[in-house]
Amino acid sequence: MVKSVSQQNEDNSLKSLLSVAVSLAAGSVLLAGCSMQTPTPGDASLAVPEVFHCGQRMIEVTAAGEMLDLLSQGVAYTLVAVPSASGARYRGEGNDQIEFWNKGNRGTLTLAGELMPECLTEDTLETSLTARGNEPFWSLMLDNGQVVWRTPDEEASYAATVTILGEGRWRVAAEGAGLDLLLTAGICNDSMADMVFPLTAELTTPAGSYSGCAGSPERLFRGIEWQVTAIAGDELLGPRQVTLTFGAEQRVYGQGPCNRYFGGYQLAGEGLSFSQLGSTLMACEPGILAQEQTLMSLLPTVTRFDVLSEPMRLRLHGSDGVVLEAEAP
């Protein structure tokens, strides 16, 4: 059958429309495939600068689309978004030694390949936190909306409500148990355990009110490179800045008066201790080397630490007095 010119034009128009539709559909599939490979965009809450505390390290982060600007101790980094099953994850462009994984008011920071303590905004408590006191002994462990209450005579679990009071204060209430815990940011010394904590605790129960401490002691000394100012009460000798860093997985390392040193640390109810210490073997002037030998001989005698604020200072105590004094950078 011979088609008229008008019919041929209609057929050509129909073919053109079908061709465009197929192209658009193919393009949609292609775009959908590409979007599956696109990194998770930044959390909108980070569109303005947000401050996190990763132990003693303070960082400021600002997200814009796929980019994140991170400022840490005066050093600026630019990170790019990478795929993440949850939250917003960023990694250094061409530098996988730095990463920040943000989940709302919490974050995980890896810097120079070192995992920092949990990063928290100012009004955020640790993911898992224990408050404790003595005479009589009690403890209240908060984890994922539940509290576990312990005394020498009982142990019970309750649902918990956490209220942010502001200015570094929180209230934790154990529903139906009459337990009310007030937490306040501030250095707390537990003389019974020779330990220092980042939070003070005031507990009210049906039986009375009690004082105690709370939080992880490691948050007071981890996250920064401490600048040593004195060894066994003596000023430092030599041109090198002596340092002390508490790393992940209970590792300790730093620069001595002459050599780099390294080892492990343990933090328990009895206090702080060091073990398996070693160092490099560079030669130095006799006086400097003698001071380093003093440091290496005294570190194994450390039994506890304390922290002083404004400015932030760290002291390590041994059986014969203060082994080391340091300040935050």
CATH number, residue 189: 2.40.128
**Cα–Cα nearest to 126, from 9, 15, 221, 214:** 214
Helix, strand, coil percentages, rounded to 5, for the chain:
20, 50, 30
Residues 146 and 161 in one domain: yes
**Which CATH number is 262's domain given?**
2.40.128.270
Examine the domain organization and report whether 226 and 312 are in the same domain: yes
8 A C-beta contact, residue 83 and residue 39: yes
Shared-domain flag, residues 55 and 150: no
Report pTM: 0.82
87 & 141 share domain: no
Structural domain span for residue 310: 221-327
Residue type, 294: T
Same structural domain, 238 and 306 = yes
Residues 100 and 139 in one domain: no
Residue 200 placed within a domain? yes
Q: What is the mean pLDDT of each run of 10 residues along the chain (329 residues)?
A: 38 39 34 34 59 97 94 96 95 93 96 96 94 93 95 94 96 93 96 89 95 96 98 96 97 98 92 96 96 97 93 94 97
Quick one: DSSP state of residue 113? T
59 is a domain residue: yes
What was the pLDDT predicted at 193? 77
State the pLDDT at residue 47: 60
Instruction: Sort strands 169-174 and 106-111 into parallel, antiparallel or unpaired.
Output: unpaired
Based on the fold, state whether residues 322 and 228 are members of the same structural domain: yes
Can you tell me which residue has the tokens 């132990």? 55
Q: Annotate 138-166 with b (16+ C-beta within 10 A) or e (fewer).
A: bbbbbeeeebbbeeeeeeeebebebeeee
Number of domains composing the chain: 3
Report the C-alpha gap between 227 and 328 in whole angstroms. Answer: 6
pLDDT of residue 203: 97
Which own/partner pairs from 181-187 qualify as long-range (CB within 8 Å, at least 24 positions apart)? 181/131, 181/140, 183/125, 183/131, 183/214, 183/215, 187/220, 187/307, 187/308, 187/309
Q: Where are the alpha helices (DSSP H) in the chain?
A: 5-37, 286-298
**Rounded distance between C-alpha atoms, residue 254 and residue 95, angstroms:** 23
Among 92, 120, 148, which residue terminates a domain? 120
Rg of the chain's alpha carbons, rounded to an integer? 29
Q: Are residues 254 and 287 in the same domain?
A: yes
